């Protein structure tokens, strides 16, 4: 197949697509808005599941390399009460099917697996338009543009490619996360650290919660979850200065003033500037009519609230699309139709069956979640 594939977005899904295409001898170019791989932190740990994410990495020929990234013990799960009492403690015995790896290291593995020059950094998309006959033009902020006969939007929640296919716009779920880190926690924050297990620790109450991951280097990655309207956060200064960070952390920690102090400290004592993450989603059964020469994958296609499936689905979408293109040499439309036919029901099922954040933080929490783990 001589078709050159144009991929917008160098996230996990776009890079997996490029890698699987490379395995099959099909050229591609990935355009990424960020100026370099180190432009921003890539998030925390990902549990890569044996029924989708790991299958994608096998198709990419990278499963052994992926295994080398696994952080042992991180499949452990603990649920605490707001007083610090252990309500559920599930250790990692090494046999679990969803090993945890750092997102940034997995992304770097995919980047390193591609031929030099595959990813074009610093290419922010400003517009995409159809040229007819399945061809499209992509314009960039630097004034350049490219034409392509196969365009893939792997550019996340606010995809610039999606409007070619769908008028759907992500909607705020009513839940926001605030992210911070406690660095060298066993030494610098011992009282809080000893409450956190080797993997994920959750403290939940109606309308709010704290999720903590233990990462490399003895750091704790804290995610505060709050059911609040967007404008509630507008009154907090999240700018990256020492005074603003301290004030913002104190304001967020104040929402947990009735919790045990060592739990509140997981928020108040953050060593990095807090970053708000407003959670948006597309309709669970988002789909579109076939448009020649273009498709979507990952969050661009099926954005949902975090439920453990997002990164795995992006990996799987990338691999499945790559295999479909390889299986239909010279037939772009056949490849895209075959991919979308399987992707639509797969992503809808994941959205409908996944954990609902509003329910997770509902009136029955944390016991609703404990029942899910134990049943």
Cα Dmax for the chain: 64
Percent of the chain past pLDDT 70, that is, above it, reads 99
Mean of pLDDT values over 38-55: 90
92/74 Cα distance (integer angstroms): 7
User: Is residue 267 a contact partner of residue 249, using CB atoms and an 8 Å limit?
Assistant: yes
At residue 274's C-alpha, the angle toward residues 261 and 186, to 5°, is 50
Higher pLDDT: 116 or 218? It is 116
User: Is residue 345 a contact partner of residue 287, using CB atoms and an 8 Å limit?
Assistant: no
Higher pLDDT: 364 or 60? It is 60
Tens digit of each residue's pLDDT (9 = 90 or more) over 132-188: 999 999 999 999 999 999 999 999 999 999 999 999 999 999 999 999 999 999 999
**What per-residue confidence (pLDDT) applies to 2?**
58
How confident is the prediction for the chain on average, in pLDDT? 94
Tens digit of each residue's pLDDT (9 = 90 or more) over 244-276: 999 999 999 999 999 999 999 999 999 999 999
**What per-residue confidence (pLDDT) applies to 368?**
83
Torsion angles phi and psi, residue 363, rounded to 5: -65, -25
**What per-residue confidence (pLDDT) applies to 321?**
98
> Which of 19-28, 57-66, 90-99 has the lowest average pLDDT?
90-99
Assigned token pair, 63: 């499963």
176/77 Cα distance (integer angstroms): 22
Mean of pLDDT values over 210-215: 94
**What per-residue confidence (pLDDT) applies to 1?**
42
Tens digit of each residue's pLDDT (9 = 90 or more) over 104-126: 999 999 999 999 999 999 999 99
263 CB contacts (<8 Å, ≥6 apart)? 80, 82, 84, 192, 195, 203, 210, 256
Q: State how far Cα 74 lies from the chain centre.
A: 18
Mean of pLDDT values over 7-19: 98
Question: Is residue 193 scored above 50 in pLDDT?
Answer: yes
Higher pLDDT: 352 or 172? It is 172
Q: State how far Cα 323 lies from the chain centre.
A: 22
Tens digit of each residue's pLDDT (9 = 90 or more) over 69-91: 999 999 999 999 999 999 999 99
**What per-residue confidence (pLDDT) applies to 208?**
97
User: Is residue 148 a contact partner of residue 158, using CB atoms and an 8 Å limit?
Assistant: no
**What per-residue confidence (pLDDT) applies to 243?**
94
pTM of the model: 0.96
Cβ atoms within 10 Å of 299's Cβ, excluding its own: 28
Tens digit of each residue's pLDDT (9 = 90 or more) over 279-334: 999 999 999 999 999 999 999 999 999 988 999 999 999 999 999 999 999 999 99
Query: HSE (CB half, 13 Å, CA atoms) of 225?
Result: 24
């Amino acid at each position: 197949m001589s078709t050159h594939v144009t991929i917008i977005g160098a996230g996990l899904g776009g890079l997996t697509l490029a890698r699987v295409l490379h395995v099959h001898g099909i050229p591609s170019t990935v355009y990424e808005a960020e100026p370099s791989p180190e432009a921003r932190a890539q998030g925390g740990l990902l549990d890569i599941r044996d029924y989708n994410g790991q299958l994608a990495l096998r198709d990419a020929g990278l499963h052994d390399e992926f295994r080398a990234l696994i952080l042992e013990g991180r499949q452990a799960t603990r649920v605490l009460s707001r007083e610090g009492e252990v309500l559920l403690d599930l250790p990692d015995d090494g046999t679990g099917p969803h090993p945890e790896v750092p997102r940034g290291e997995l992304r770097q593995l995919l980047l390193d697996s591609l031929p030099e020059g595959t990813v074009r950094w610093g290419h922010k998309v400003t517009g995409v338009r159809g040229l007819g006959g399945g061809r499209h033009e992509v314009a960039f902020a630097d004034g350049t543009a490219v034409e392509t006969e196969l365009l893939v939007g792997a550019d996340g929640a606010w995809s610039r490619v999606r409007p070619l296919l769908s008028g759907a716009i992500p909607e705020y779920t009513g839940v926001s996360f605030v992210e911070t880190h406690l660095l060298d926690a066993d030494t610098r924050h011992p009282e809080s650290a000893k409450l956190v297990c080797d993997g994920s620790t959750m403290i939940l109450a109606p309308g709010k919660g704290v999720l903590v991951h233990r990462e490399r280097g003895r750091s704790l990655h804290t995610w505060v979850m709050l059911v609040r309207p967007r404008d509630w956060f507008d009154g907090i200064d999240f700018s990256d200065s020492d005074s603003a960070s301290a004030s913002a952390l104190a304001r967020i920690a104040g929402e947990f003033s009735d919790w045990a102090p060592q739990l509140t400290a997981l928020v108040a004592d953050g060593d990095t500037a807090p970053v708000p993450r407003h959670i948006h989603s597309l309709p669970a059964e988002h789909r579109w009519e076939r448009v020649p020469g273009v498709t979507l994958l990952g969050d661009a296609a099926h954005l949902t609230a975090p439920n453990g499936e997002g990164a795995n689905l992006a990996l799987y979408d990338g691999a499945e699309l790559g295999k479909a293109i390889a299986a239909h040499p010279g037939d772009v439309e056949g490849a895209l139709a075959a991919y979308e036919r399987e992707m639509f029901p797969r992503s809808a099922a994941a959205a409908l069956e996944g954990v609902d954040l509003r329910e997770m933080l509902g009136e029955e929490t944390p016991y609703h979640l404990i029942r899910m783990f134990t049943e």
